[in-house]
Chains A and B, each alone.
Chain A
């Protein structure tokens, strides 16, 4: 285990230090009790049964029986606390870690999210962390106990007779070798099975997906044949697993009895040069039998530990970096901005030196509407991403209300900017919560916002109206309806700046009209920035900024730009001509 990982584990467990000490002590006591039990039977055999006496000066036979039962009860009583507490440590560690990871993901900046796909984050928070749980609950619970019991057993056995121990303990390497060989064989088959299983699952899922195609082209027979050949391959690959699984316990029983045979032969042939009482021999054999389970468990757990260590590293490698965490604390607090936006010689690159914006300068006065026009990749969206500070420009200055954007409190800045994306995200929450968007807004205002966004008709048509819970990703709503809800959000939020990435497709004409109404209402009173896809929008704005390869090639209003006869006028004319 790497040192770094060990430090990380230590950090995770730190809040539960006391519990760890507690369960360790319990584990030692339980182990000692487990060691005492065969000793009691030994006393019973050697001191009483052998000679046929009911009692001696210390004990009587029944007392020993009751003592045995008492030990069993105590052992289980302690085990209850040991197991529940250890498992709770695992559960709590996972709980803490998940909370920490989630918070990190939420508060990390967009650069972080660009770098790490959401699927990866999901796997880290949800699945990888389960391995960590396994490490704490399964491994550590049994691991502490197992280590102590092995050491205890060895000590006791050596104490009884070190010579007998030396002879009989040659089975320990046998256990380890047999276990390792079989595990290796099993794993080899498992990985072969995994490949065929993947192939088979791909086949099934594609056949399900393409079933109509298969039917349309009458390819049922071909597919049935393919199915049979794949299921046959799978059957033949997986078969040996039964053999190995059958082999392992049987081999262990064999080794166990080999050990017993060695002990008995050693005693009978007087290899050890001393005579032992029958009870002692019986006790020794019992201890020998008891050593199997903990050894096998430890071997099994090696893999769990390896997986957990990899997972811990994977998890921490993502979440250990402070540089991505956004700062919501510092910066000037502004309740309401007026909406003046200035870009002064702004340069920006997502990756080093690959400039997406080159020396961009422009000013938007409060209440003005502007359109960003240009080909895909010309930097339109990047400009809006800089305005709500999803990214920070490398060179130049961005001023909001005359204040450098980096000096404004991040939360305040974003609360004052309302953005509508082409495909707005709808949470699997009620319509109300989707409009509220984490803010405390009362129902009247929400309904008002929904009305202003012309979404009232669609909302009223829902079974539960405003309380209708959207399906995941808003799948129960159409693209147009999602857009309307996004507009309702803006009306409810009432920001000073309004950014719209115009949707181009998948919206029917009626909804499109409703959306246009909302756009007109919003742009009339707020600083509005459009990423324009439609000429209709462009014609009406106060200023058009034409971008090409990250540079502003032209700016001005529609008439001015058409008059100058540049890039924009060519575009406009070709459109105009096609209509005539």
Chain B
């Protein structure tokens, strides 16, 4: 995190220097109109005599404003350039980190948290860099330049007297902010609580009605709502106090300058024009004070965001070369020897003493209830988790000795969640890698039994799906996902519970195509449907991480044990489907 910031600052150092200069010019120029106005006021006492000078000063006044406009716009544009480049760099860096991070580590972070790195935290960092820092600089410069101008038009003593109430109000503001922050957090919490309650109420309306709980729910709501209102009243009170402090600081400062300034005019120390200019300077101080609460709030948020991003960027990475995918082909023999596995923070083994041997060209079926360890086994095979030494071999080599990207390049793993990107069908099948012929892609959709539906779509294979395109049914999604297996040329193909949304006829044809595809490949099918795995060369039944039965379909049925139970259950369920 620090390195990125340093690098960015270095890269934009010249622009930053220019920005600082422009800000200084801008702050200085802001004081100039008051000065000119003061001069004009003095000249107005003798209009006829001073007419030319007055008109000249007016021209200066307008020119100053034009310069002010130019300097401000240039500065803002430079600022936008710097901060937007920074944001881009941060987004890219965090995304790159996401791509590299170790899956086991990643699974511990909620998706929503990662999303908020991109959406919220980066925005906070930007606000800090482009607003908080520049505002602080402007704040300080403003004070320095304005008080210098004030001293020039009157004297030091007068300046100190007028600024004194402003300084006191700033101190009071800082003291108040803490209180408001506490108030505000409390209010946010109560609001979240209230929203949660509303969400639950609308979702649970049928249950609530069935138990005649409407009145009780209303009472609870009113209680929560009242508590929120009370806190908000407190927030209102304190926020008003905050703005009163700001107004009082400037207001009393102005009052003091009227009180003492007029004495100075009468004592001929300053002119009326100086007096007018002095009051003008006071008003310039007004705006920066209003920034204080905002700056404090975002400085705190920046600290939180910085830490969150910094922690994320320090997380463990996979050893993987993401910019090179020309990996060598592996032989498809898979051997698993005495594999037991426990999650780093787990209490017990999720896989216990697994032994499997599949030669290339053969197929393995895996069946077992949720939580029996099927997907963990696959995640290990793909090196998504750290694999114990000497347990899993591909092509005779311990996979710990094979590069991660090579392994993944050689295994085509079709997962159970049929997740598709909001992109074209084609990109969802070739997964954004443009090395396949259009014809190959079309053929893969034919094999996965989705082709007939695709050609009926408006743009065929280029139809956009998802959030901004058309919606596919569960079964269609599944078949699009399966197309990937037919496009991929790897020697090992895994189907992890990928047929659940398909009807019997499609499933049968698809399984036939899969058998053709994997005739000379290693094929693993994980499914709870007997029909998907009954033709496999070997079937294993997993239960609580252990292989409890293994063999071919016919033998396993004859054993009348777990596998048979699955079979019987399915027979019953398929009849239930008739009922429904």
Q: Do A45 and B432 have beta carbons less than 8 Å apart?
A: no
Q: Do B44 and A281 have beta carbons less than 8 Å apart?
A: yes
Q: Do A388 and B210 have beta carbons less than 8 Å apart?
A: yes
Whether a CB of chain A sits under 8 angstroms from the CB of B517 is no
Q: Do A204 and B118 have beta carbons less than 8 Å apart?
A: yes
Q: Which of A84-92, A146-154, A332-340, A556-564 forms part of the interface with chain B?
A: A84-92
Q: Do A250 and B69 have beta carbons less than 8 Å apart?
A: yes
What is the interface size of chain B, counting residues whose CB is below 8 A from a CB of the partner? 139
Interface string of B73-107 (1 = CB under 8 A from A): 10111011101110110011001101110010010
Q: Provided the pairs A44-B262, A222-B433, A281-B44 are in contact, do residues A204 and B95 lie with their beta carbons within 8 angstroms?
A: yes
Q: Provided the pairs A215-B103, A220-B99 are in contact, do residues A242 and B421 lie with their beta carbons within 8 angstroms?
A: no
Q: Provided the pairs A224-B99, A239-B81 are in contact, do residues A219 and B431 lie with their beta carbons within 8 angstroms?
A: yes
How far is B469's CA from A206's CA once the two chains are assembled, in angstroms? Answer: 15
Interface string of B361-396 (1 = CB under 8 A from A): 000000001000000000000101000000000000
Partner of A267, one of B44, B62, B222, B241: B44
Complex: chain A residue closest to B75, CB-CB: A246
Q: Do A91 and B233 have beta carbons less than 8 Å apart?
A: yes
What residues on B are CB-neighbors of A222 within 8 Å? 431-433
Q: Provided the pairs A228-B92, A238-B84, A376-B580 are in contact, do residues A278 and B44 lie with their beta carbons within 8 angstroms?
A: yes
Q: Do A212 and B384 have beta carbons less than 8 Å apart?
A: yes
How far is B372's CA from A213's CA once the two chains are assembled, in angstroms? Answer: 22
Interface residues of A in 240-279 (CB under 8 A from B): 241-243, 245-247, 249-251, 253-254, 257-258, 260-261, 264-265, 267-269, 275, 278
Whether a CB of chain B sits under 8 angstroms from the CB of A39 is no
Interface string of A366-407 (1 = CB under 8 A from B): 000000011110000000000010100000000000000000
What residues on A are CB-neighbors of B419 within 8 Å? 209-210, 213
Q: A72-B252, A217-B484, A326-B209 are in contact. List 5 more A-B contacts (CB 8 A).
A: A68-B258, A217-B408, A221-B325, A427-B204, A473-B200
How far is B153's CA from A480's CA once the two chains are assembled, in angstroms? Answer: 82
Q: Which of A9-17, A158-166, A410-418, A454-462 forms part of the interface with chain B?
A: A410-418
What residues on A are CB-neighbors of B384 within 8 Å? 212, 215-216
Interface string of A93-117 (1 = CB under 8 A from B): 0010011001101110010010000
What residues on B are CB-neighbors of A110 within 8 Å? 205-206, 209
Partner of A438, one of B206, B213, B275, B279: B213
Whether a CB of chain A sits under 8 angstroms from the CB of B3 is no
Q: Do B62 and A574 have beta carbons less than 8 Å apart?
A: no
- CB A104 to nearest CB in B, in angstroms, measures 10
Q: Do B579 and A246 have beta carbons less than 8 Å apart?
A: no
Q: Do A66 and B98 have beta carbons less than 8 Å apart?
A: no
Q: Do B580 and A264 have beta carbons less than 8 Å apart?
A: no
Q: Provided the pairs A216-B413, A257-B62 are in contact, do residues A49 and B255 lie with their beta carbons within 8 angstroms?
A: no
Most-contacted residue by chain B among A48, A87, A281 (CB, 10 A): A87
What residues on B are CB-neighbors of A417 within 8 Å? 210
Interface residues of A in 262-315 (CB under 8 A from B): 264-265, 267-269, 275, 278, 281-282, 285
Q: Do A106 and B214 have beta carbons less than 8 Å apart?
A: yes
Q: Provided the pairs A72-B255, A213-B415, A221-B323 are in contact, do residues A118 and B202 lie with their beta carbons within 8 angstroms?
A: yes
Interface string of A102-136 (1 = CB under 8 A from B): 11011100100100001101100110000000000
Interface residues of A in 417-439 (CB under 8 A from B): 417-419, 421, 424-425, 427-428, 437-439
Whether a CB of chain B sits under 8 angstroms from the CB of A65 is yes
Q: Do B92 and A227 have beta carbons less than 8 Å apart?
A: yes
Q: Provided the pairs A95-B225, A212-B415 are in contact, do residues A250 and B467 lie with their beta carbons within 8 angstroms?
A: no
How far is B207's CA from A250's CA once the two chains are assembled, in angstroms? Answer: 59
Interface residues of B in 192-241 (CB under 8 A from A): 194-196, 198-218, 221-222, 225-226, 228-229, 232-233, 236-237, 240-241
Q: Provided the pairs A91-B229, A207-B95, A239-B81 are in contact, do residues A574 and B76 lie with their beta carbons within 8 angstroms?
A: no
How far is B580's CA from A376's CA once the two chains are assembled, in angstroms? Answer: 5
Q: Top 4 A-B pairs ranked by shortest CB distance? A: A246-B76, A65-B259, A242-B80, A69-B255
Q: Provided the pairs A79-B244, A227-B95, A428-B196 are in contact, do residues A278 and B41 lie with their beta carbons within 8 angstroms?
A: yes
Complex: chain B residue closest to A65, CB-CB: B259
